[in-house]
């Protein structure tokens, strides 16, 4: 089986082979995009997104840096949002994530992997957009859509470097790798895996590229200066991450390929068996191998430790979907990959509309804003909330009120018991309690006795003195 493709082959393919897959991909992307936009209307900010809003709404650079450094996330996403105009709505806060996902899908078409046919590039672009976790990332003001974009760029940059090694291409690759690590620390294994593959292929020739490694000093120094916060969260009560085990290993392994990974793998492998003579682009194959290696590294790092959750594998996903397209042989196989992914994404958008499955306090705040409370006592309902800085606590509680022009003064009460929170509030303070399902009976009891607003996971109580 050949692992190389003639330089001019991609350009010389007849348009007739590309047109069907382009039409199918375009139709799938258009339909799913419209359905996603409709489904995303009115989704409240999750608690994590509220932290994003607080961090990126700071008026002064010093305040922004202080809040960003207190958070466990890497700084690039927050920096981009802070440099943009202040978001006055949930949609405006999430708009960059939509743009990042669209840009990630467009990148393989604008910046081709060497040796990859136009049809394969279209198929890869479609798979990137139709990837189901991307539907969630596009509707969240969190760094994962940006991580998906920069990891896609890093995968392409690595493929181009391995195809024609040069110092210029090496700097482009390490630049993309730096952006990936500055977006999410769990993006580092992708760069490490690619570096190992590069050394295995180039061997002594790789030494000529060493100046490009200087670019990596930026994310390295940033991670070192942020290490204390990372360590405190990883070892403290705020660490809720699951442990990788035999029970959940399959879900981690197929995450980057998508929800129907077994079916897509069967299509790709069967087509290769039936049509073994179609060349496999050398650069795409090595980039795919590096993505698989990075996935194994992350799973190994999280084995038996509370260190890795599935979305931390996002940086591997572009390379894993590239692997599917690279192994697939023939136009029919690529059409099947796009058709299956498009059908699943369309079905998911219709039958399983986007829902906020994480805790949120926006609805509770909206119930109280018309009452214009002067004081608010609130609890975020998780053990790690006592680790928040006093200044951050106040800003989180006041965010939705300040955005609505209500000068409410907020104070966090670090308790998991709603009864303690209500006692601390007394008669003069409004109450917001974020609770978990096991505390529902207590929340309902408080709602009846104090005439509060209640919905799953949120309780909002007006001040007793205002009645």
Instruction: Please classify residue 14 by burial: count the beta carbons closer than 10 Å to its beta carbon, then call 0-12 exposed, 13-18 middle and 19+ buried.
Output: exposed
List CB contacts of 99: < 8 A, sequence separation 6 or more: none
Please say if the pLDDT value at position 231 is more than 90: no
State the Cα torsion 58-61-66-71 to the nearest 10°. Answer: 60
pLDDT at 314: 95
- Using one digit for the tens of pLDDT, what is the confidence trace for 92-135? 999 999 999 999 999 999 999 999 999 999 999 999 999 988 88
Backbone angles phi, psi at 410, to 5 degrees: -110, 150
Three-state secondary structure string covering 437-466: HHHHHHHHHHHHHHCCEEECCEEEECCHHH
Q: What ranges in 275-330 are assigned the alpha helix state H?
A: 282-302, 317-327
CA distance 93 to 385: 24
Question: Can you tell me whether residue 381 is helix, strand or coil?
Answer: coil
CA distance 293 to 261: 17
Please say if the pLDDT value at position 378 is more than 50: yes
**Domain spans, the chain:** 14-351, 362-466
CA distance 433 to 449: 15
Average pLDDT over residues 191-218: 94
Bridge partners (DSSP) of residue 2 are none
pLDDT at 10: 43
Instruction: Please classify residue 273 by burial: count the beta carbons closer than 10 Å to its beta carbon, then call 0-12 exposed, 13-18 middle and 19+ buried.
Output: exposed
Cβ count near 85 (within 10 Å): 7
pLDDT at 422: 92
Angle at 251 between CA 250 and CA 254, to 5 degrees: 80
pLDDT at 255: 83
CA distance 294 to 401: 43
Instruction: Please classify residue 329 by burial: count the beta carbons closer than 10 Å to its beta carbon, then call 0-12 exposed, 13-18 middle and 19+ buried.
Output: buried
Backbone angles phi, psi at 455, to 5 degrees: -150, 170
Token pair of 210 as six digits: 């060493």
The model's confidence at residue 304, banded by pLDDT at 50, 70 and 90, is confident
List CB contacts of 91: < 8 A, sequence separation 6 or more: none
- Using one digit for the tens of pLDDT, what is the confidence trace for 5-19? 444 444 444 456 688
- Using one digit for the tens of pLDDT, what is the confidence trace for 152-165? 999 999 999 999 99
Name which of 283, 294, 336 is nearest 317 in CA terms. 294
CA distance 73 to 55: 11
Q: Are 151 and 317 in contact (CB under 8 A)?
A: yes
CA distance 98 to 308: 25
Q: Are 394 and 411 in contact (CB under 8 A)?
A: yes
Name the least confident of 81-90, 143-152, 330-339, 373-382. Answer: 81-90
Cβ count near 80 (within 10 Å): 15
CA distance 463 to 345: 45
Sheet holding 453-455, edge to edge: 409-412, 375-379, 430-434, 458-461, 453-455
CA distances from 149 to 60, 124, 180, 242, 316 (A): 28, 13, 9, 26, 11
- Using one digit for the tens of pLDDT, what is the confidence trace for 399-454? 999 999 999 999 999 999 999 999 999 888 999 999 988 999 999 999 999 899 99
Please say if the pLDDT value at position 1 is more than 80: no
Burial 344-354 (b: 16+ CB within 10 A, else e): bbbebbeeeeb
């Amino acid at each position: 089986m050949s692992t190389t493709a003639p330089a001019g082959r991609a350009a010389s393919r007849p348009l007739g082979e590309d047109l069907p897959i382009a039409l199918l991909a375009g139709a799938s992307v258009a339909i799913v995009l419209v359905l996603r936009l409709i489904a995303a209307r009115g989704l409240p900010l999750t608690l994590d997104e509220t932290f994003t809003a607080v961090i990126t709404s700071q008026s002064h650079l010093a305040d922004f840096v202080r809040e960003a450094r207190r958070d466990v996330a890497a700084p690039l996403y927050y920096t981009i949002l802070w440099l943009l105009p202040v978001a006055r709505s949930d949609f405006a806060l999430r708009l960059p994530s939509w743009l990042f996902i669209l840009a990630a899908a467009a990148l393989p078409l604008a910046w081709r992997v060497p040796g990859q046919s136009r049809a394969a590039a279209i198929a890869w672009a479609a798979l990137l957009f139709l990837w189901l976790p991307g539907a969630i990332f596009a509707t969240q003001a969190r760094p994962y859509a940006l991580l998906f974009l920069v990891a896609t760029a890093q995968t392409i940059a690595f493929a181009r470097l391995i195809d024609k090694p040069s110092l210029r291409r090496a700097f482009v690759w390490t630049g993309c790798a730096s952006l990936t690590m500055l977006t999410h620390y769990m993006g580092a294994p992708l760069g490490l895996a690619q570096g190992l593959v590069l050394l295995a292929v180039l061997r002594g020739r790789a030494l000529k590229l060493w100046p490009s490694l200087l670019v990596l000093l930026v994310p390295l120094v940033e991670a070192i200066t942020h290490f204390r916060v990372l360590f405190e969260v990883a070892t403290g009560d705020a660490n809720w991450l699951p442990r990788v085990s035999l029970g959940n290993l399959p879900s981690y392994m197929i995450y980057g390929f998508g929800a129907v990974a077994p079916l897509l793998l069967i299509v790709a492998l069967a087509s290769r068996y039936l049509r073994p003579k179609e060349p496999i682009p050398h650069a795409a194959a090595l980039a795919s191998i590096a993505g698989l290696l990075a996935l194994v590294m992350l799973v190994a790092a999280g084995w038996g430790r509370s260190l890795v959750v599935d979305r931390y594998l996002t940086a591997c996903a572009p390379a894993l979907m590239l692997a599917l397209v690279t192994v697939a042989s023939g136009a029919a196989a690529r059409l099947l990959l796009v058709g299956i992914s498009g059908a699943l994404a369309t079905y998911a958008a219709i039958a399983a509309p986007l829902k906020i499955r994480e805790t949120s306090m926006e609805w509770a705040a909206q119930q109280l804003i018309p009452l214009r409370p002067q004081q608010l006592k609130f609890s975020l309902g998780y053990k790690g909330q006592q680790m928040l800085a006093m200044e951050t606590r106040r800003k989180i509680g006041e965010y939705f009120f300040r955005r609505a022009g209500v000068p409410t003064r907020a104070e966090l009460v670090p308790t998991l018991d709603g009864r303690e929170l209500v006692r601390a509030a007394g008669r003069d303070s409004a109450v917001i309690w974020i609770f978990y399902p096991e505390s529902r009976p207590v929340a309902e009891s408080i709602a009846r006795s104090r005439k509060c607003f209640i919905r799953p996971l949120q309780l909002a109580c007006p001040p007793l003195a205002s009645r």
